[in-house]
Amino acid sequence: MRLRRIFSASIAAVVMMTSTAFADFPERTVENVFPWSAGTAMSVSQIIAKALGEELGVSVPVVSTPGAAGTKAFITSMNRPADGYTIIDGYVAPLVLQPVLGNADWSFKDFKPLHAAVSNAFSIGVKKGETRWSTFEELMEYGKANPGKLRYSSGSRNNLPHMVIAKVLQSYGVVAQNIPYKTDGDARKDLKAGVLDFSFINVGAYLQDKDGFEILLVLSELPGAKASYDGAPSITDLDIELGLSGLAPMGWTWWLVHKDTPDDVADVLRAAMKTAMAREDVKEQISRVGFVPLEWDHTQYEEIVGPVAGQLGAMGNALKWEEDELKKLK
Amino acid sequence: MLVDSILAGYALFMTPAAIGLTLLGVLFGLVVGALPGLGPLMGIILLLPVAIGLPPVAAMGFLIAIFVGGSCGGSISAILLRIPGTPLAAATLFDGYPMAQKGRASDAIGIAISASALGGLFGGGVLILLAPALAQFASNFAPPEYAALAVTGLIAIAVISEGSLLKGLIAGCFGLLLATIGTDEFSTGYRFTFDTHHMLNGFHIVAVVVGLFAISEMAHQTMGNDLLKKPKIDIARPGFGSVLLTLKHWKNLLRSSTIGAFFGALPGAGGVISSFTSYAVAKAAAGPDEKYGEGEEGGVVATESANNATVGGTLVPSLALGIPGDASSAMLIGALLILGYFPGPTLFEQQPEIVGGIFLVYLTSNVFLLIAGILATPLFVYVLRVPKSYLIPIVLLLCTIGTFALQASVFDLLVMFGFGLVGILLRAASYPLSPIVIGIILGPLLENNLRRSLLISQDGYWIFVERPVSLILIIVNLLLIAGSIWFAVRKKSKAADKVPVSD
């Protein structure tokens, strides 16, 4: 009897201590695991991390952990304790696209969402002064007449821009060679030098050098994205139906934690991130870089991310199609 | 136009915040550079959140000063401890450490700081006078040219491995092999990752460098019987005479700074290649009485002026085209964007005052580096008076903290200690370690640009001779290889002639 009382008291003490620990969360640095190399996108995560840290009262360093199209960061995070001290910077490529391509064994439902962070629209652009074509349709006509001759870049290979561009090209029956680059900037440099025929251009790159590029097609149906590219034609202006809407053809990140993270810990992070993302200074700093701050909270995660996963899954054969067609030409 | 932009930037720069933070940035940069593991990139990442809340020129001054100080700081530990604080300083230990062993540690650090500052100022001159033109020139460098340039860098192994060419080449090939580990950029397949996610991006270059150099050196130090002895070393205050010592090598300084600025202006090339190439060129051009590798001042001048001139060069494509030259300048571009300015041609046209302000903070950073660095040298050299029984554990602790901070990864620590063991074995067998670093850095540059060129080409390998710059580089490479073989054969036949004939 006495033993049982001691046991019960011990359990109660552990529960109380644990509850106190959660009440005190966070007691130390919370880390954001960022899936790409250092660069502009990392700076954007640092803006949010700084604001989140101010709300939580601890610092939130952003740790660049690149590798395997972002999946290394996810696996690294999932191997850490589910205690809320590790946040996954959940970019769409490792979160949704890599599972669609069979390179990762998780689904977006395997994570606990905190809050949507940012999105980044992109477009297909050519160098200024290009004389071979002046519209996207003319580019496609050229591509159809010269199978396998066009050279383009989506930055790295098998990323979201690659998937979306391959889908567009597939819809037109155009076979072009994708050239992977270590950084997007290198691809833009070679586009301007005439080494590439077209390339993906994100909003930030366009804003930096509007006179350097001609935007032929904005890869988003959202009016805001079209406006960012000064009203260039978008996928809604095409005669073909791509089956892409909302966030599906765009880059975006949703901050997440391990699914076993206790709810009260996740709630502390959610509340802090919601406040951080609502701050005008944060929104302004993010917008300056050409990214769009997102206001969706964790309750809208499935509603927003679900259709993206569905649409990307449905167009999953575009990359395979491109590869097979190029092999046939060789 | 140029004068106008600098005058407009002058008002933004002449504030206590901008000047104070530039000085603070240089000091912080020197420290993060000197600590093994950390480096200018980590310094910029750590302080970017602070910088984005500051006025634009003060913020950029702070971050650029960290870049400048951090690119020089690695030489301090290379000279004093035979540990390059950053991969940028891996070539500085060839002559810097022997100089320190000969009792000239203060001179070596003084020369490293002076050469860094003067090289940096040269890079600044290039940045100010030639930014748009050089950016235009750099845009002629496409994948075929980068592939040819990577071969040029690999030939440097032959020059720096004199005396043990075969072992140098084996070490270089080992570096190239290590560079293949990770996710293939082209097929997205995994290579030598052994089913562990830790290997998906290969080994972190900093963990490898710290392991190879720092751990093996500390192990080597423990083998001596002077662990408890307090070294009695007279610390000579270097003073600004170091500038004169450096200027004595003005041809070398000018040549290495030009090489540094050139490599900096090429996105993706970087400071490590520039410092090794400058060292190789300086060594090849040296007179018969100059003994590179044994404590020659020119060796320190070459590597340190080159890697700091690279910083100025790196800012050329970053500011003029908005294309980062390396990871550190990518973070600088990110900071500039957050502050509301778009690097690229429009920045020069629409906000010349910001461009002028950045020019001024960059130049001032190098002046501060010279003054603060020289004044602080006695503090750095004091390290040599610490008994090894204290020094070795402190260095190992700093290596561990610095390497862990890279990605908060215990695996990186295992890599560091693993390569420490490799370093110990290679040193015991008299293999040079630097070619491994060259191999790791140049491997991806060569492989990826070769494959990229072939994907771009409509005529297979002809792309390398159809493009004039690529063709010139290939001819230069062939001449360098022929020259290396000729020198090696001539040296061997001379050595054979000297062997006394026995009766």
Say yes or no for a CB contact (<8 Å) between A62 and B343: no
Q: Does the pLDDT at position A312 exceed 90?
A: no
Residue A231 lies inside a defined structural domain of this protein: yes
pLDDT tens digits, residue range A227-280?
Answer: 889 999 999 888 888 888 888 888 899 999 999 999 999 999 999 999 999 999
Residue A281 lies inside a defined structural domain of this protein: yes
Question: How far out from the chain centre does Cα B265 lie?
Answer: 14
- For chain A, give the percent of residues with pLDDT over 90: 67
Average pLDDT over residues B266-277: 83
Average pLDDT over residues B236-248: 82
Note which residues in 222-281 of chain A have CB less than 8 A from chain B. none
How close does chain B come to A3, measured CA to CA in Å?
Answer: 42
Residue A213 lies inside a defined structural domain of this protein: yes
pLDDT tens digits, residue range B303-331?
Answer: 999 999 999 888 888 888 777 878 888 88
pLDDT tens digits, residue range A133-180?
Answer: 999 999 999 999 999 999 999 998 888 999 999 999 999 999 999 999
Residue B2 burial (CB count, 10 A): 14
Backbone conformation region of residue B327, classed left if phi is above 0, alpha if psi is from -120 to 50, else beta: alpha
Which residues of chain B are within 8 Å of residue A289 when distances are taken between CB atoms? 334, 337-338
User: Measured between alpha carbons, how far is residue A2 from residues A12, A38, B5, B14 in Å?
Assistant: 15, 59, 84, 76
Quick one: A106 and A140 in the same domain? Answer: no
Task: Please name the member of B327, B448, B458 whose beta carbon is closest to the beta carbon of A37.
Answer: B327
Task: Please name the member of A66, A72, A183 whose beta carbon is closest to the beta carbon of B324.
Answer: A183
Say yes or no for a CB contact (<8 Å) between A63 and B407: yes
Beta bridge pairs of residue A199: A125, A153
User: Measured between alpha carbons, how far is residue B319 from residues A239, B45, B134, B314 in Å?
Assistant: 40, 19, 12, 9
Max CA-CA distance within chain A? 91
Q: How many domains does chain A have?
A: 2
- For B268, the closest chain A residue by CA position comes to A186
Q: Does the pLDDT at position B286 exceed 80?
A: yes
Length of chain A equals 330
Residue A148 lies inside a defined structural domain of this protein: yes
Closest CA to A66 of A96, A111, A114, A33: A33
Mean predicted lDDT score pLDDT of chain A: 89
pLDDT tens digits, residue range B327-375?
Answer: 888 889 888 888 888 887 777 777 888 889 999 999 999 999 999 998 8
- For chain B, give the percent of residues with pLDDT over 70: 96
Residue A17 is predicted with a pLDDT of: 47
Quick one: A90 and A188 in the same domain? Answer: no
A288/B contact by beta carbon, under 8 A: yes
Break chain B into its structural domains and give their ranges: 2-490
Half-sphere exposure of A313 (CA within 13 A, CB side): 11
Least confident piece of the model among A111-125, B23-37, B123-137, B203-217: B123-137
Q: Does the pLDDT at position B88 exceed 70?
A: yes
Residue B289 is predicted with a pLDDT of: 83
Residue A14 lies inside a defined structural domain of this protein: no
Note which residues in 58-97 of chain A have CB less than 8 A from chain B. 61-69, 71-72, 75-76, 79
CATH of the domain at A129: 3.40.190.10
User: Measured between alpha carbons, how far is residue B307 from residues A103, B68, B71, B118, B271 in Å?
Assistant: 39, 10, 7, 11, 5
Residue B247 burial (CB count, 10 A): 13
A47/B contact by beta carbon, under 8 A: yes
Least confident piece of the model among B228-237, B280-289, B483-492: B228-237
Residue B500 is predicted with a pLDDT of: 57
Mean predicted lDDT score pLDDT of chain B: 88
Quick one: A186 and A323 in the same domain? Answer: yes
Quick one: A145 and A196 in the same domain? Answer: yes
Which residues of chain B are within 8 Å of residue A93 when distances are taken between CB atoms? none
Residue A207 lies inside a defined structural domain of this protein: yes
**Is residue B119 a contact partner of residue B306, using CB atoms and an 8 Å limit?**
yes
Quick one: A239 and A177 in the same domain? Answer: yes
CATH of the domain at A270: 3.40.190.150
Q: What is the DSSP letter of B286?
A: -
pLDDT tens digits, residue range A170-194?
Answer: 999 999 999 999 888 889 989 999 9
At residue A129, the 3 state secondary structure works out as: coil
Task: Please name the member of A68, A177, A209 whose beta carbon is closest to the beta carbon of B200.
Answer: A68
Quick one: A91 and A166 in the same domain? Answer: no
Residue A10 is predicted with a pLDDT of: 55
Q: Does the pLDDT at position B503 exceed 50?
A: no
At residue A117, the 3 state secondary structure works out as: strand
User: Measured between alpha carbons, how far is residue B213 from residues B83, B84, B95, B171, B413 in Å?
Assistant: 6, 7, 15, 14, 14
Which residues of chain A are within 8 Å of residue B466 when distances are taken between CB atoms? none
**H-type alpha helices, B1-92:** 2-13, 16-34, 40-51, 56-81
Q: Of A80-94, B41-55, B267-281, give the range with the top mean pLDDT.
A: A80-94
Encoding tokens for residue B108? Answer: 């070596």
Full residue range of the structural domain in which residue A48 is found: 28-120+250-296
Quick one: A152 and A292 in the same domain? Answer: no
Average pLDDT over residues B476-489: 86
Residue A153 lies inside a defined structural domain of this protein: yes
pLDDT category at A106 given cuts 50, 70, 90 is very high
Encoding tokens for residue B101? Answer: 């062993």
Q: Does the pLDDT at position B426 exceed 80?
A: yes
Q: CA B466, CA B453: separation in Å to the nearest integer?
A: 12
Say yes or no for a CB contact (<8 Å) between B200 and A189: no
Residue B42 is predicted with a pLDDT of: 86
How close does chain B come to A293, measured CA to CA in Å?
Answer: 13
How close does chain A come to B128, measured CA to CA in Å?
Answer: 20
Task: Please name the member of B200, B333, B452 whose beta carbon is closest to the beta carbon of A179.
Answer: B452
Closest CA to B441 of B122, B111, B87, B183: B87
Quick one: A146 and A227 in the same domain? Answer: yes
DSSP structure string for A13-51 = HHHHHHHHHHHT---SPPEEEE-S-SSHHHHHHHHHHHH
How close does chain B come to A255, measured CA to CA in Å?
Answer: 19
Closest CA to B48 of B363, B336, B355: B336
Task: Please name the member of B321, B409, B455 whose beta carbon is closest to the beta carbon of A189.
Answer: B321
A39/B contact by beta carbon, under 8 A: yes
Residue A35 is predicted with a pLDDT of: 95
- For A45, the closest chain B residue by CA position comes to B49
Which residues of chain A are within 8 Å of residue B448 when distances are taken between CB atoms? 182
Helix/strand/coil percentages in chain A, nearest 5: 50, 15, 30
Q: What is the DSSP letter of B224?
A: S
Say yes or no for a CB contact (<8 Å) between B188 and A290: no
**Is residue B75 a contact partner of residue B86, using CB atoms and an 8 Å limit?**
no
